[in-house]
Structure 1
């Protein structure tokens, strides 16, 4: 499996897990979603918003790059640039869910359009504090997907503390079985 195919798989995993998290979160009352539970982004809603904000920030940076598939990110490039990593863009799940779904579909389409040869190219960008960086594009993509997984792990804990289980979240379940070679 190529690295590009791995990113396609990570995009699908991301999409499916976000749907599970929103389904689980929808079982809670507003005060449970917004309650400061001592997490880095305070609440379940705060953490869901952080994931969305960070995804938009990264995708807007990727859209400005000269990599294959950048046109798949045109709709994200038109979104308002988030102003802070803890910005609450959506305060109601019913409004938030369609935006999250749309972003996840965009990530899936974009990852399918990526080209293997782009993954080793340098990628220059500014972070949220306007500091300049230049790193291999493929490794930045690994960070992009790892960041999502990290915060979804926090969300599953926060949801569990509210009595809501998300179910199995292991990436392993998204990996297809293969036939072992005969000895």
Structure 2
């Protein structure tokens, strides 16, 4: 599988652009609306975006040696206690992910990644390129859930189409 530095950088920019728009939409909701159980896999909007933050931190710990988040998937929904704390951490993580993507070289995307998976309970091995693509796909999946819950709660949606991402920032 071939994944280029340019493709990773595009997806890191997309991730930051999406999270900036999502943050703006979520700011229009009160805490009760963010925490209401909406029947999604992780229940609420806030639990879902916390899980997404946790997942990004977990994958980046594997890709770049960043500190891994505490706990496993069951605890992934409570990583930040407030929306303000989540928004600040999301902004910091997106900035770091952009810097990571900008600094990648072709060789950095080669080979396999081995890790102990909490989800499967065993060691996994996949191509690093596939794992990086999975991280970006995971983001899109859960942001889609957050988008559906957010609009159902009466907040504005945001543009999610990659084809409509601005060619120039701001990404954050």
TM-score with structure 2 setting the length: 0.88
- What is the CA distance between 1:27 and its match in structure 2? 0.8
Matched, 1:166 2:160: no
Match in the other structure for 1:50: 51
State the partner residue of 1:3: 4
State whether residues 116 and 122 of structure 2, in contact with CA within 8 Å, keep that contact through their aligned partners in structure 1.
yes
Q: Which 5+ residue runs of structure 1 have no aligned equivalent?
A: 65-75, 177-183
- CA distance in 2 between counterparts of 1:139 and 1:169 reads 22
RMSD: 1.6
Q: Name the TM-score, length of structure 1 as normaliser.
A: 0.83
Name the structure 2 match of 1:12.
13
- Whose Rg is larger? 1
Is the contact between residue 57 and residue 82 of structure 1 (CA under 8 Å) also seen in structure 2? no
Query: Could you report, residue by residue, the CA deviation over 1:117-137 in whole angstroms, capped at 9, with x for unpaired residues?
Result: 232311111112441111111
Residues 125, 134 of structure 1: 8 Å contact kept: yes
Structure 2 stretches lacking a partner, 5+ long: 168-172
**In 2: Cα distance, 1:39 partner to 1:137 partner:** 30
Whether the 8 Å CA contact 1:25–1:33 is kept in 2: the answer is yes
Tell me which residue corresponds to 1:84: 72
C-alpha separation in 2, matches of 1:135 and 1:173: 31
| Contact residue 25 and residue 158 of structure 2 kept, 8 A | no
In the alignment, what sits opposite 2:28? 27
Corresponding position: 1:100 with 2:90: yes
Greater relative contact order (Cα < 8 A, sep 6+): 2
**Paired residue for 1:132?**
123
How many angstroms does 1:154 deviate by? 0.7
Q: CA deviation at 1:11?
A: 0.4
